[in-house]
Structure 1
Amino acid sequence: MSTAIPPLDLAWLLMETPGGTTHVGAMLLFQKPPARRGLVAQVVADYRSRQPLPPFTYVPEILGTGMPHFREAPTWDPHYHVQHLSLPAGSSYDDLLRLVADLHEPMLDRNRPLWRCWIIDGVPGGRFAIYTKTHHSIIDGVSGLKRLYDGLSLSPGDTIPAPAFALPGPAPTSSAAPPALRRLADAVHGVLTQVGAVNQISWGAARKALSAALGTHVEGSLPFVAGRAPTNAPLRQARGFATLSLPLEEMHQIAHHHGATLNDVAAAVIDHGLHAYLRDTDQAYAHELIAMCPVSLRGDGDTTVGTKVSAMFVRLGHPEATMEDRLRQVAHSVATAKKELGALSPDAAMTYAVALVALAGAGASTHLDRVGHPACNLVISNVPGSNDVRYLNGATLIGIFPVSALAAAIGLNVTLSSYRGHMDFGFVANSAAISDVHALAEHTRQAYAQLKVADRV
């Protein structure tokens, strides 16, 4: 059985390089209950006994006969896809983060199902972690994180629910039309909607490109207008990974005080922290950074396979702005870009994403991204989380930190998600551009502290 690869998902496969990998992942951190020896080994054994279900059985066929498609692998290797590791005695939390960064570096094997999972024991403080990565062509951040939560229990009992890779997908929609007629109708509908979408976005894109070339200050969503920042150094395989947690309700209060959103606060402190880090490492960047902010196009309850996202390209704050001014600048830019994206139909928004990913991938593969404008300077993404406490075999989930993709000369991705009253940030960096991502996370924490003091929260 085979499944056609949609355009955006195909783009994630085509643009991937050893230095610019397009898998996404997460690190789940658990607190063990007392006196539960063998808890982690039980999880490993249970996971290895489960049978993966689509799309976690998919192997891509791109260069063979016919159109690009996924075929289902007839078998899987439980010991390859579910691995059991343990940190040496005396290891620190930073050692865990370095291990996750190392595991995140290599591409997924295209001849096997496009996912892997590591269960890591020996985390200090009586904890263990699960790091998992899946190719962006079969899952996006929203649906991927939902699956991870669905693979955990709402009860502290000794239950081990089916993990994300063994959860059933949505039932296929039925149709009475004959297959050939349905394919023809889908093809005609696809052509018409793509043409309409291109017409909807092309004039605005051309106007912005011309204005930017003439040096005019442009607002709205701004792809391929960014200057070349230190974060746009050529991608190498080496990755850095750091985490940060901030109080969610406090962030909401700050956002409300400034007439901003939670995402505005997150983007502003990341922006302030990055400028501070660059100054501290003698790489000061004298211009406003532009961040790509993915926007989910999934409706409530949509768990279909593949990627359903578009994106805004948001101008961030002035390099020397105070935290309060920076938040106001970011909030204005986000609101303007959001209004522009909201005016697009869903088809146009999806076409916009496909075109941008294709352009960024072409620039990376031809190295034109090293001489022209990069798509943006960094990625900032917020993936919906959960307020409910989750458990696995009696262990409590205490944090879930996204570990996202780097591609197309964009060397920093900060993805965040809320859980149990805190916002968990995952910083993934191209080590050739940001040698100490832990220092960047600390600068971001200090930026939040400055904003908190200014608001007297």
Structure 2
Amino acid sequence: MLGVGAPHFREVDTWDSHYHVQHLALPSGSSYDDLLRLVADLHEPMLDRHRPLFRCWVIDGVPGNRFAIYTKTHHSIIDGVSGLKKLYEGLSTSTERTIPTPAFALPTPEPPPAPPHPGLHRLLDTIHSAVVQVGTVNQISLSAARKAVSAALGSHVEGSLPFVAPHAPTNAPAQQARGFATLSVPLAEMHRIARQHHATLNDVAAAIIDHGLHAYLRQAGQAYAHELVAMCPVSLRDDSDSAVGTRVSALFVRLGRPEATMTDRLREVVHSVASAKDELGAMSTNAAMTFAVALVALAGAGASTHLDRVGHPACNLVISNIPGNTEPHYLNGAPLIGIFPVSALAASIGLNVTLSSYCDTMNFGFVTNTAAISDVQALAEFTGKAYAELTAESARA
């Protein structure tokens, strides 16, 4: 549990299964859009900090004789990579009618054995961690300040670019209401386009989201005349790391020019991502984690004090890719049709697009602050059109 005041965890002896795992049913004749609206409504309220920080809903009545499972877990408990891994572990790769242990009940890894002198080691580790973090925060602050000043003077700065982006419509003050939409594109075709342009799947995703967002803003009469800056979380876990907690850093990537073609936009994104990766790659793992924590804390402080309304926001949107799974999964014989991330919004960053592959598709989940993006379904459709445009341009190349 996350206590009030200074955050800390507490173990609990019991938990209320009726509160944490619930059953809902859509009315007869409901559509897929009705499911998305229900998920958006469930996503709005904060988790109760005095209870274990997760909730799960099984939702019946989804069109096509299907059902959905929506799970909400606090980011301090687990990050997206390890969270999705747990979700897959709570499913089966067999069509047999079996119900595996659900993700929220799976055991956590055993902690490493205590060192011979735990008190001394803890003290030395604390001192070392404090020295590293202070040095890293100073380095981050100086670097961010230099970039912010350079950007204000009109220079074209490179690398990871927190607090450099001008305000965009996506940075409207946060409200409680949420919007949610989905998009799926063929994974094999996405791979082909990425190889053709010497890009990654993340680059392709960022480019089409960027293109779709600019098109949406123009259609809504809110055209944005600058290059958007996206925060792109980066997992610091290896394949064997499933420890509780969050182990991520972040890139702050300049996206394409507002008027760029899809192909040119992808080329610009590839260049920006490579520059930001070089900068992050020069940091140690601890420094990279401190970098992300410090920037998120600064963004949160700016939002809570409203300083972000007069200064630059941390970024304009968040784009995240959580590695998925190519093997079909089942729950008590029912096949998993798709898995769509429903991510959190923070500070005054009113758009989070998280994607994850499953079998032969790449699935996008768009989460919005409705004060910033009022029609999230239209944004998803513009992103789909951007993908079709990139596919057509790539075929002609």
Q: Indicate which of 132, 136, 140 corresponds to 2:79.
A: 140
Please show how residues 247-286 of structure 1 align to structure 2 within 5 Å.
247-286=186-225
> Is 1:101 equivalent to 2:40 in the alignment?
yes
Q: Which residue of 2 aligns with 1:361?
A: 300
> Is 1:131 equivalent to 2:131 in the alignment?
no
Residues 68/267 of structure 1: CA separation in 2 closer, same or farther (3 Å cut): closer
In the alignment, the residues of structure 2 paired with residue 153 and residue 355 of structure 1 have an alpha-carbon distance, to the nearest angstrom, of 39
TM superposition shift of 1:200: 4.9
For normalisation by structure 1, the TM-score amounts to: 0.85
> Is 1:335 equivalent to 2:274 in the alignment?
yes
CA RMSD of aligned residues (A): 1.3
Q: Indicate which of 359, 362, 380 corresponds to 1:441.
A: 380
In the alignment, the residues of structure 1 paired with residue 382 and residue 116 of structure 2 have an alpha-carbon distance, to the nearest angstrom, of 58
Q: Which residue of 2 aligns with 1:41?
A: none
> Is 1:393 equivalent to 2:332 in the alignment?
yes
Give yes or no for contact 1:311–1:353 (8 Å, CA) kept in 2: yes
Q: Which residue of 2 aligns with 1:301?
A: 240
In the alignment, the residues of structure 1 paired with residue 145 and residue 310 of structure 2 have an alpha-carbon distance, to the nearest angstrom, of 20
SS at match of 1:61: coil
Q: Which residue of 1 aligns with 2:347?
A: 408
Give yes or no for contact 2:351–2:367 (8 Å, CA) kept in 1: yes
TM superposition shift of 1:456: 1.8
Q: Which residue of 1 aligns with 2:254?
A: 315
Q: Which residue of 2 aligns with 1:426?
A: 365
TM superposition shift of 1:199: 5.4
SS at match of 1:70: coil
> Is 1:351 equivalent to 2:319 in the alignment?
no
Kindly indicate whether structure 1 or structure 2 has the higher relative contact order, using CA contacts under 8 Å at least 6 residues apart: 1
In the alignment, the residues of structure 2 paired with residue 139 and residue 380 of structure 1 have an alpha-carbon distance, to the nearest angstrom, of 18
Q: Deviations over 1:368-387 (max 9, x none)?
A: 11111100000000001101
Percent of pairs with identical residues: 75
> Is 1:417 equivalent to 2:360 in the alignment?
no
The aligned amino acid for 1:394 is G
In the alignment, the residues of structure 2 paired with residue 378 and residue 343 of structure 1 have an alpha-carbon distance, to the nearest angstrom, of 24
In the alignment, the residues of structure 2 paired with residue 272 and residue 69 of structure 1 have an alpha-carbon distance, to the nearest angstrom, of 41
Q: Which residue of 2 aligns with 1:5?
A: none
Q: Indicate which of 148, 155, 163 corresponds to 1:209.
A: 148
Q: Which residue of 2 aligns with 1:197?
A: 136
Give yes or no for contact 1:221–1:337 (8 Å, CA) kept in 2: yes
In the alignment, the residues of structure 2 paired with residue 408 and residue 203 of structure 1 have an alpha-carbon distance, to the nearest angstrom, of 22
TM superposition shift of 1:188: 2.0
Structure 1 runs of 4+ aligned residues shifted over 6 Å read none
Structure 2 unaligned spans of 5+ = none
Structure 1 unaligned spans of 5+ = 1-58
Residues 201/233 of structure 1: CA separation in 2 closer, same or farther (3 Å cut): closer
The aligned amino acid for 1:113 is P
In the alignment, the residues of structure 1 paired with residue 85 and residue 180 of structure 2 have an alpha-carbon distance, to the nearest angstrom, of 22
Q: Indicate which of 146, 164, 189 corresponds to 1:225.
A: 164
Give yes or no for contact 2:148–2:164 (8 Å, CA) kept in 1: yes
In the alignment, the residues of structure 1 paired with residue 362 and residue 249 of structure 2 have an alpha-carbon distance, to the nearest angstrom, of 23
Please show how residues 28-43 of structure 1 align to structure 2 within 5 Å.
none
The aligned amino acid for 1:293 is C
TM superposition shift of 1:145: 0.6
> Is 1:61 equivalent to 2:3 in the alignment?
yes
The aligned amino acid for 1:422 is T
Give yes or no for contact 1:201–1:348 (8 Å, CA) kept in 2: no
Q: Which residue of 2 aligns with 1:28?
A: none
Q: Deviations over 1:253-305 (max 9, x none)?
A: 11111111111110000000000000111111111100000001112211111
SS at match of 2:338: strand
The aligned amino acid for 1:455 is S
**Which stretch shifts more, 423-432 or 200-209?**
200-209
Give yes or no for contact 1:197–1:345 (8 Å, CA) kept in 2: no
TM superposition shift of 1:114: 0.5
Residues 284/185 of structure 1: CA separation in 2 closer, same or farther (3 Å cut): same
Please show how residues 72-91 of structure 1 align to structure 2 within 5 Å.
72-91=11-30
For normalisation by structure 2, the TM-score amounts to: 0.97
In the alignment, the residues of structure 2 paired with residue 350 and residue 108 of structure 1 have an alpha-carbon distance, to the nearest angstrom, of 24
The aligned amino acid for 2:381 is E
The aligned amino acid for 1:258 is H
SS at match of 1:181: helix
Q: Deviations over 1:68-98 (max 9, x none)?
A: 4211122111111000001000000000000
Give yes or no for contact 2:3–2:50 (8 Å, CA) kept in 1: no
In the alignment, the residues of structure 1 paired with residue 151 and residue 220 of structure 2 have an alpha-carbon distance, to the nearest angstrom, of 29
Q: Which residue of 1 aligns with 2:114?
A: 175
SS at match of 2:9: strand
